[in-house]
Structures are given as structure tokens and as C-alpha cells.
Amino acid sequence: MTAAKAKTSGHAPFELMKLPYEDTALEPVISAKTISFHHGKHHKTYVETLNKLIAGTEFEGQSLESIIKATHKDEAKRKIFNNAGQVWNHDFFWNSLDPKGGKPTGKMKEMIESSFGSYEDFKKKLTETGVEQFGSGWAWLCLEGGKLMLKKTPNAESMLTEKGCKALLTIDVWEHAYYLDYQNKRPDFLSAVIDKLLNWRFAEQNLG
């Protein structure tokens, strides 16, 4: 069971997910310094804030997925949704990366070519999806209607609340995910992650 799946089926109080690799394992694409801020500070703060927000509420003891679905589009519970969504998204993001990543093989290769024409077309379109997400957000590879699709979501939104759409991989395009390493060059960050770090084994597991 992956860390992301283990966490989403867990219950509060939530804990910061342990990375499935060392802080230095994603270099040179993502530096250990970025990991220390992104995982050790941003992600950690979302977890701690969520636990404080749900303490003593009807959400205490519920799973992360249940909290996200129950608070989605509820302005009175926007802070809970934002923090729960960011915990889930970050858990999923860390599992979407693999130090030994590269081009897809086997079933995922076939599905990429069937859905996008070629790996290069897929890479171009996923990069564009991430670049076109205005401001903070996420670029997703999803399964919808038996076909691979690319989608983008703002802020803490994810595929959990998209009916009929199942997340396979995600790339974080919030500035804290890449600014220390790439400054304002989001396209370069996306291109490097797609080429060298995507976890295609995780994507295939999520086809389920």
C-alpha cells in the first residue's frame, strides 16, 4: 500500500507523510533544499493546521477523503477543505515522483500513445496544462471514461471531487514547489519532472 493510499484511509490526528525517498534523491531536478521547505515546512503546516481545525468537530476521526468531500464548496468550512485538500494533494504528489522515473512502459506506454498519440505529445500537453494553471494549483493525469485525460485544478482542488475522474499522477505547480530551483521558469520545472521523475508504477497502481 502506498503512503498516499494509507494516509487517505487513515483518521485524525493526521501525521506528516514520510517521503518514500531521501531528500537528496530527486536532485538535480528538485533540490534537497526545496524538499526541506516544501515537505518539511509547507506540507507539515497543512497537516498541523488541519488537526487544529477539526479538533472537537464532527470531522475529528473521519478519513481525509471524507473530510475533503464533506467540506468541498462549503464556504463556512473553507479553511478545513483547503488544508485537508493540500494534505491529500501533497501525499499524492510525493508518490507521483520516483528518483528512477523516466518514460512509461508496458500498459501505461500503450495508454499514453492511445490517448495522446505519442509520449512527446503527452509531455507537451502536460507541460502546457501545468503552465496554463494560473497562479497556484496542480496538473493531473487522470483516467476518465476509460481514457487518459489531463486536467488542472487551482489551490487545494483535486480529482477527489471530480465525478468520474480518477487521479493517476499529479505535479504541484505552486511556486513553493519549484521557485528555489527554477525561479519563474515553471515550464522548465514541468519538463524536467515529466522526463525524469514521474512514477509510472504508481500511475499503473492507481488504474485499479
Spatial separation of the C-alpha atoms in residues 144 and 165, rounded to whole Å: 5
For the segment 149-195, what is each residue's pLDDT rounded down to a tens digit?
Answer: 999 999 999 999 999 999 999 999 999 999 999 999 999 999 999 99
DSSP codes of every residue in 133-193: S-SSEEEEEEEETTEEEEEEEETT--GGGSTTEEEEEEEE-SGGGTHHHHTT-HHHHHHHH
Q: Quick one: 73 exposed, middle or buried, by C-beta within 10 A (0-12, 13-18, 19+)?
A: exposed
pLDDT band, residue 3 (cuts 50/70/90)? very low
For the segment 94-140, what is each residue's pLDDT rounded down to a tens digit?
Answer: 999 999 999 999 999 999 999 999 999 999 999 999 999 999 999 99
SS3 state at 97: strand
Instruction: Using the CB atoms, write b or e for 150-164: b if 16+ within 10 Å.
Output: bbbbebbbbbbebee
Q: Is the pLDDT of residue 2 over 60?
A: no
Spatial separation of the C-alpha atoms in residues 29 and 31, rounded to whole Å: 6
pLDDT score at 208: 78
* pTM attached to this predicted model: 0.93
Q: Give the number of other Cβ atoms within 10 Å of residue 62's Cβ.
A: 17
Q: Give the number of other Cβ atoms within 10 Å of residue 183's Cβ.
A: 11
CATH classification number, 3-13+31-95, choose in 3.20.20.70, 3.40.605.10, 2.40.10.10, 1.10.287.990:
1.10.287.990
Domains 3-13+31-95 and 106-207 share a fold: no
Q: What is the mean pLDDT of the segment spanning 8-33?
A: 89
Of 22, 41, 20, whose CA–CA distance to 177 is shortest? 41
Q: Is the pLDDT of residue 12 over 80?
A: no
pLDDT score at 11: 65
- What strands, in cross-sheet order, belong to the sheet with 165-172? 147-154, 137-144, 165-172
Of 14, 1, 4, whose CA–CA distance to 63 is shortest? 14
Question: C-alpha dihedral over 131, 69, 83, 168, to 10 degrees?
Answer: -40
Spatial separation of the C-alpha atoms in residues 145 and 199, rounded to whole Å: 22
| CATH 3.55.40.20 is held by the domain 106-207 | yes
Q: What is the mean pLDDT of the segment spanning 69-90?
A: 97
Of 126, 173, 169, 183, whose CA–CA distance to 153 is shortest? 173
**Do strands 137-144 and 147-154 pair parallel, antiparallel, or not at all (unpaired)?**
antiparallel
Domains of the chain, by residue range, sit at 3-13+31-95, 106-207
C-alpha cell at position 30: 528538485
